């Protein structure tokens, strides 16, 4: 399999984390996807691929889908001559484009045409006439910016503040977040789950897992030391999270 990532243009970096292409031209392949606190729009340029999702298990050629927040790992099965283009959004990034309760697609995928107008969907479908990476990215950015300017969706400032506080704190807690935002914990939880798709505790846990995985890959420290550095009670607590989010022990990442 061939995987490539590209940065978005400067005017979209506050919304989009990256663009990615995944291609499998020679043989039937399997790819594993881990939770990363992001949602994607995926364009299928090749043969179908299969995913264990409730709403749509088979994604056909020229389908455009949205993936919801994940709380566990998923396996995707790609046929020969598969080609996917994905847009990975930062938390609250997709909210600027869609007015949608994202908790409805947690661990799931849906067709883009179920949440946007037919005319807008058709504009995006014209992307399938292109083949080069740079042309596909440039086309997407043009259409996406046009629709952003048309919609001008505001984001929830309380949820935005909570997310920034999670990123800025070494060991954030749900209790701290509602104090920072100045609203009740229950109300913040309701808003967070609606806008992000998962609750605050799960978001914090996945962010901790992401940071821990990076440290394991880049550090010679022991697993026990890495666990403590990232706010786990002990290494067994960290191992439990890794099995949940990757299907394997962190020892396999060393």
Residues 192 and 76 in one domain: no
Tens-place pLDDT, residues 199-253: 999 999 999 999 999 999 998 899 999 999 999 988 899 999 999 999 999 988 8
User: Same domain for 163 and 38?
Assistant: no
Q: Which residue has the higher pLDDT, 50 or 12?
A: 12
- pTM for the predicted model, two decimal places: 0.92
Q: Which of 63, 44, 74 is nearest to 110 (CA)?
A: 63
Q: Does residue 146 share a domain with residue 226?
A: no
Which range of residues forms the domain containing residue 236? Answer: 206-254
Once rounded to an integer, what is the mean pLDDT over residues 56-81? 90
Give the pLDDT band (50/70/90) at residue 27: low
Share of the chain above pLDDT 90, in %: 71
Do 126 and 14 reside in the same domain of the chain? yes
Question: Both 218 and 249 in a single domain?
Answer: yes
CATH of the domain at 226: 1.10.10
Whole-number pLDDT of residue 112: 96
The residue among 56, 59, 5, 49 whose CA lies nearest residue 24 is: 49
Q: 19 and 137 in contact (C-beta within 8 Å)?
A: yes
Considering the domain architecture, whether residues 48 and 147 belong to the same structural domain is answered as yes
For the domain that residue 70 is a member of, what is the CATH number? 2.60.120.10
Q: What is the pLDDT of residue 78?
A: 83
Whether residue 177 is found in the same domain as residue 240: no
Mean pLDDT value across the chain: 91
Cα(189)–Cα(191) distance, rounded to whole angstroms?
Answer: 6
Cβ contact 50:76 at 8 Å: yes
Which pLDDT band holds residue 140 (cuts at 50, 70, 90)? Answer: very high
Do residues 93 and 64 lie in contact, with contact meaning Cβ atoms separated by under 8 Å?
no
Section 101-115 average pLDDT: 93
Q: How many helices (H) and strands (E) does the chain have?
A: 8, 10
| DSSP one-letter code for 108 | -
Q: Specify the higher pLDDT residue, 24 or 54.
A: 24
Read off the pLDDT of residues 149-172 as tens digits, 9 standing for 90 and up.
Answer: 655 567 899 999 999 999 998 888
**Same domain, residue pair 46 and 89:** yes
Strands (E), 49-140: 49-51, 58-59, 64-67, 74-78, 82-89, 109-111
Q: ∠101-120-35 over CA atoms, to 5°? A: 40
Residues 122-138 pLDDT 10s: 999 999 999 999 999 99
Residue 251 is predicted with a pLDDT of 87
Give the count of domains, the chain.
3
Q: What percent of the chain has pLDDT over 70?
A: 97
Domain shared by 75 and 168, yes or no: no
Are 107 and 214 contained in the same domain? no
Closest among 141, 143, 124, 115 to 44, alpha carbons compared: 124
Please give the pLDDT value at position 220.
87
How far is the C-alpha of 30 from the C-alpha of 8, rounded, in Å?
Answer: 27
Q: Are residues 93 and 188 in the same domain?
A: no
Q: Is 136 exposed, middle or buried (0-12, 13-18, 19+ CB in 10 A)?
A: buried
Q: Are residues 6 and 130 in the same domain?
A: yes
Give the SS3 label for residue 97.
Answer: coil
* Selected residue with higher pLDDT from 25 and 42: 42
């Amino acid at each position: 399999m061939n995987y490539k990532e590209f940065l978005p243009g400067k005017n979209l970096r506050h919304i989009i984390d990256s663009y990615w292409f995944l291609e499998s031209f020679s043989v039937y392949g399997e790819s594993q996807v881990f939770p990363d606190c992001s949602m994607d729009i995926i364009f299928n340029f090749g043969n179908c691929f299969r995913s264990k999702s409730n709403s749509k298990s088979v994604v056909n050629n020229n389908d455009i889908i949205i993936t919801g927040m994940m709380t566990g790992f998923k396996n995707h099965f790609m046929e020969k001559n598969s080609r996917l283009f994905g847009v990975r959004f930062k938390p609250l990034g997709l909210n600027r484009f869609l007015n949608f309760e994202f908790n409805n697609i947690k661990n799931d995928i849906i067709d883009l045409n179920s949440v946007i107008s037919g005319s807008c969907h058709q504009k995006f479908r014209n992307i399938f006439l292109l083949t080069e990476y740079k042309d596909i990215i440039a086309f997407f950015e043009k259409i996406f910016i046009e629709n952003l300017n048309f919609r001008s969706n505001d984001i929830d400032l309380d949820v935005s503040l909570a997310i920034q506080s999670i990123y800025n704190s070494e060991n954030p807690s749900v209790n701290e977040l509602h104090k920072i935002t100045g609203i009740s914990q229950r109300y913040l939880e309701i808003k967070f789950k609606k806008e992000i798709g998962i609750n605050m505790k799960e978001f914090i846990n996945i962010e901790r897992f992401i940071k821990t995985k990076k440290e394991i890959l880049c550090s010679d420290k022991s697993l026990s030391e890495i666990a403590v550095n990232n706010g786990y009670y002990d290494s067994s607590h960290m191992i439990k999270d890794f099995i949940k989010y990757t299907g394997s022990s962190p020892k396999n990442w060393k």
